[in-house]
Amino acid sequence: MTATVLERPAGATVAAGRRARSRRWRRVVVVLVVVLLAVLLLTLCVGERTYSPLDVLRVVLGQDVPGASFTVGDLRLPRALTGVLVGVAFGMGGVMFQTMLRNVLASPDVIGISAGSSAAAVVAITVFGLSGATLSVVAVASGIGVAGLIYALSWRRGVHGTRLILIGIAIGAMLDSVISYAISRAGIYDVNEAMRWLTGSLNSAFWPVVRPLALALLVLVPLATILSRRLGALQLGDDASTALGVPADRSRLALLVVAVALVSVGTAAAGPIAFVAFLAGPIAHRLVRGAGALLWPAALVGALLVLVGDFAGQHLLGLRFPVGVVTGVLGAPYLLWLLARSNRTGGSL
């Protein structure tokens, strides 16, 4: 059938290609990490007062630098760290959803998952006057609860991605009306508070926020990484996935739980920052271009989007805008363009 006299060992041709792609993937990840660190340093140095990188590094390492310690150590550093962690959470959660449901438009902020946290938070603010840690807990719990409801409602001998998406949209619309109602009934102060929460911002990202956030991610991120292998099988369709030994429904459920937890935790920490969960996956996809898994590139892209968005919102636009507005305004046209393009080419990541 084929020549048995081969100079190369069996599998060498394939291995060469695979290793080249692997190298390209690693390059992309390394570049993303470097850029992220650079932007991180930038946000710590630049602001109303600019500090030298050396001073910043010394503060980070725990030394006391008069004049810098407070601003950098207690204001900018927690804000930047929160930004990174929240970006990772949204980026990972978003790409997990998009891959699992095989549709780039099936992002948690489009299909009503984030709406769960938001609606609960708005009601908590305007009706019950909650704030701070209690509010965050309510937001996380509601996000998970609503996601569970959507999952349960779309279960009918197993969960089909299409049905999940459509039911998510319906529930999202219902929750939006709850939000509108709460806002229309509230006193104007509460309304402002609610709107601020709804837009997503890092303005209240102090050290007490960073610690629980970091802990949660410490659990969720490794889980997501382990489960990402199942993503690779699910991408091929339910039948192919089962054939490869990855049972479709069970894997999807596990992935959904972790993805929802990631998104809810991010939302609790910084509000629903518009479009980060949606955009991180497609942007990572364009960078990686089939060379490998999207999970970590998307996480890094998410972190970058949040950091850059916040930096732009704080210093580059004249007025101070929270990060949610920046990502919302810039993300919206890109979202529509992606929509058009994905419809043309088929839509799955």
Partner 1 sequence: MKHTLAVEAATLGYDDRVVVQDMTLEIPQGRITTIVGANACGKSTLLRAMARLLRPSAGRVLLDGTPIDDLPSREVATILGLLPQTPISPEGIAVADLVGRGRYPHQGWFRRWTAEDDAAVEEALRTTDTLDLADRPVDELSGGQRQRVWIAMALAQQTDVLLLDEPTTFLDVAHQVEVLDLLTDLNRRRGTTVVMVLHDLNLAARYADHLVAIRAGHLYAQGTPAEVVTELMVEDVFGMTSRVITDPVSSTPLVLPVGRHHSGTATTGRAADDERAAPEAPLPADALR
Partner 2 sequence: MTLHAPAPAPAVPARGRSVSLRRRRLLGLVVCAVVLLVMVVASLAFGSRVVSWPDVVAGVLHPDPENIAQAAVHARIPRTVLGLLVGAALGLAGAVMQGLTRNPLADPGILGVNAGASLLVVVGIAWLGLSSLDQYIWLAFAGAALAALLVYTIGSMGREGATPLKLALAGAATTAALGSMVSMVLLTRTDVLDTFRFWQVGSLGRADFAQIGEVVPFLVVGALLAVACARGLDALALGDDLAVGLGQRTGLVRVLGATSAVLLAGSATAIAGPIAFVGLVMPHLARTFTGPSHRWLLPYSAAFGAALLVGADVVGRIVTRPQDLEVGIMTALLGAPVFIAIIRRQKVREL
Nearer to partner 2 (CB atom), residue 78 or residue 112 = 112
Least distance (Å) from partner 1 to the CB of residue 153?
18
Least distance CB 146 / partner 2 (angstroms): 12
Which of residues 302 and 324 has its CB atom nearest to partner 2 in the complex?
A: 324
Residue type, 208: P
Q: Tell me which residue of 113, 88, 107, 169 sits closest to 339, measured CA to CA.
A: 107
Q: Would you say 1 or 340 has its CB closer to partner 1?
A: 1
d(CA 217, CA 269): 12
Tell which residue, 72, 70, 124, has the closest CA to residue 271.
124
CB of 97 to partner 2, least distance (A): 13
| Ramachandran angles phi, psi of 68, nearest 5° | -110, -30
Nearer to partner 2, 57 or 249 (CB): 249
Question: What 3-state DSSP class applies to 159?
Answer: strand
Which residues of this chain interact with partner 1, rule CB under 8 A?
A: 1-2, 9-15, 17-18, 20-21, 102, 157, 226, 229, 232-233, 235-240, 242-247, 285, 289-290, 345-346, 348-349
Smallest separation, CB 117 to partner 2 (Å): 15
Residue 316 C-beta: closest distance to partner 1, Å: 33
159 phi and psi angles, rounded to 5 deg: -105, 125
Rg from Cα positions in the chain: 22
- Which of 222, 204, 162 lies closest to 322 in space, CA to CA? 204
Picking from 284, 304, 303, the residue whose alpha carbon sits closest to that of residue 292 is 284
Binding site for partner 2 (CB under 8 A): 103, 105-106, 109-111, 153-154, 156, 160, 162-163, 165-167, 169-174, 176-178, 180-181, 183-184, 188, 191-192, 195-196, 198-199, 274-275, 319, 321-322, 324-325, 328-329, 331-333, 335-336, 339-340, 343-347
How many Cβ atoms are within 10 Å of 34's Cβ, its own excluded?
Answer: 10
| Binds 281: which of partner 1, partner 2, none (CB < 5-8 Å by kind) | none
Cβ closer to partner 1: 243 or 316?
A: 243
* Residue 3 binding result from partner 1, partner 2, none, given CB thresholds of 5 to 8 Å by partner type: none
CB of 141 to partner 1, least distance (A): 31
- Looking at residue 317, the DSSP 8-state letter turns out to be S
Q: Which is nearer to partner 1, 10 or 340 (CB)?
A: 10
Nearest to 92 by CA among 262, 271, 327: 262
The residue whose two tokens read 């509230």 is 186
